[in-house]
Amino acid sequence: MSRNRVTIQNIAEACGLSRNTVSKVFNNRGTVPESTKQLVLEKAKEMGYFAILENSAVETPVQSQPRSIAVFSRSNSLTHKFGLTFIKGFTDTVCREGYVVQMYGLSEEEIGSLQLPQNIALDNTVGILGIEMFDRAYIQFLCDFGIPAILADGYYGFQKSLIPCDVISMENYASVRAITQQIIDAGAKTLGFVGDIHHCNSFYERWGGFCSVLKSAGIELDKQVCILEKDGVQYSDLSWTEAQLRKMPYLPDAFVCANDFHALRVMLALKKMGISMPDDIMIAGFGDSAEASVIDTGLTTAEIPSNEMGIIAANVLLARISNKERPYGLTYIQTRPIFRGSTRN
């Protein structure tokens, strides 16, 4: 074969590979096994391909594009404190390593029909972060592409499945136990929980921490004073929250809520009903949202070190990109209870 006629197609045929795979090697795009890269480069050198490029414009590889990390979330997931600060820590870390972060807010339709965003270029995507993505089928759909991935929090019951990706989560159980115990020590005899316990793994773990303290204290769990409906827009409707409270056979001494958003809605509804906090009812949330420290009474909650979580998640994903064969891991980041005026001392 004469030198001036060596093409990418020639190299692909010599290696028994597709032209697209060989093109990915030369352009540093997509994910190609290291053994395949070495095969292509050695064959190209043997056939004189690189020597030709020094003196010819024949099929010069395209300039390498920046390697991208795709961040998938529901369209509204990054509008609150956890999402925003997590993404900042994550993005700062991966960008320092030369990666470009591409953000994709997914609609419910895209998630339900297992569709990728129209503008994503998977050939140039070397890593995936799913933040607050709780649809099991869609997570499996993303993992099936074989691109290194990490989830921030996970869908309910993910520990029971062999999901091929890393997971990072805030620690939920211990902080909720500490908060619930403090509420009982402050005199609560009846307690309710607010939030869809199957919405995500973190909500279920918070429910588990709550129930375990009630059991240890000898307090019977009464679901009649809990709001456990499936997660949805109704939780944003103050009149719906008020209706849930009014139909309870009695109001408990305290509500422990799955997150600050639910806790703040309950507080507003109780205030409309003329009930004071913490004198009549104590309230606690989770997440230490921006509103938690500025409302009149101050909300008892748990602080999530979300910026640090983002940094750790980035490092886990970078390690996975460097070594795809390393065992998958679940990383928990400790949270910290913060006691404010919505619960009594």
Residue 100 phi/psi, 5° resolution? Answer: -110, 135
Tens of pLDDT, residue by residue over 309-332, are 999 999 999 999 999 999 999 999
Tens of pLDDT, residue by residue over 233-247, are 999 999 999 999 999
User: CB neighbours of 84 closer than 8 A, spacing ≥ 6?
Assistant: 78
Angstrom distances, CA of residue 115 to CA of 85, 95, 127: 27, 27, 18
In terms of Cα–Cα distance, which of 258, 130, 148, 253 is closest to 193?
Answer: 258
Assign 266 to helix, strand or coil.
helix
CA atoms within 13 A on the CB side of 24: 21
Residue 78's pLDDT is 65
Angstrom distances, CA of residue 262 to CA of 174, 227, 252, 318: 20, 10, 16, 35
Residue 1's pLDDT is 39
Q: Residue 174: how many CB atoms within 10 A of its CB?
A: 16
Residue 110 banded pLDDT, cuts 50, 70, 90? very high
Euclidean distance between CA atoms 324 and 93, whole angstroms: 19
Question: What is the value of pTM for the model shown?
Answer: 0.79
Q: What residues pair up with 255 in beta bridges, in sequence order?
A: 192, 283
Residue 227's pLDDT is 98
Q: Residue 309: how many CB atoms within 10 A of its CB?
A: 24
Tens of pLDDT, residue by residue over 165-198, are 999 999 999 999 999 999 999 999 999 999 999 9
Comparison of pLDDT for 8 and 331, the residue scoring more: 331
User: CB neighbours of 157 closer than 8 A, spacing ≥ 6?
Assistant: 136, 201, 204
How much of the chain exceeds pLDDT 90, in percent? 67
Tell how strand 68-74 and strand 100-106 pair up. Answer: parallel
Q: What's the rounded mean pLDDT across residues 66-92?
A: 85
Residue 100's pLDDT is 92
Q: At what angle do helices 8-15 and 34-46 cross, to 10 degrees?
A: 120
Residue type at 7 in one-letter notation: T
Tens of pLDDT, residue by residue over 238-276, are 999 999 999 999 999 999 999 999 999 999 999 999 999
Assign 58 to helix, strand or coil.
coil
Residue 198's pLDDT is 95
Q: Residue 103: how many CB atoms within 10 A of its CB?
A: 14
